[in-house]
Amino acid sequence: VGRFFTGGNMKTATINWTPERIKKLRLVTRTTQTAFAERVGVGRSAISAWEADTKSPSLTNQAILDKLASWEGLTARILDED
């Protein structure tokens, strides 16, 4: 229900999703790890692991992160800015 994007033909990710970029996207969307996880369609522990660099998102989840960033008007360059 809370997911932004599910299923369908997903392209490969266009942004290299580093832990810093994932956290910045979450903070820009003003969501908690739990709420962000619901939007992506994963558990909160996955978001925590991605941000801590102990796990990486799957290609499908990277494509979902791309879509979220696109909807927010964010590019890799913007995500890298302080």
Instruction: Go through the chain and tell me how many residues it has.
Output: 82
CA distance 64 to 14: 11
CA distance 8 to 17: 21
pLDDT at 28 over 50: yes
pLDDT band for 6, please (50, 70, 90 cuts). very low
pLDDT of residue 71: 87
- pLDDT digits 0-9 by tens, 52-77: 999 999 999 999 999 999 888 888 77
Under 8 Å between Cβ of 2 and 23: no
Task: Please tell me whether the overall predicted TM-score, pTM, comes out greater than 0.75 for this model.
Answer: yes
Among 38, 64, 37, residue whose Cα is nearest residue 51: 37
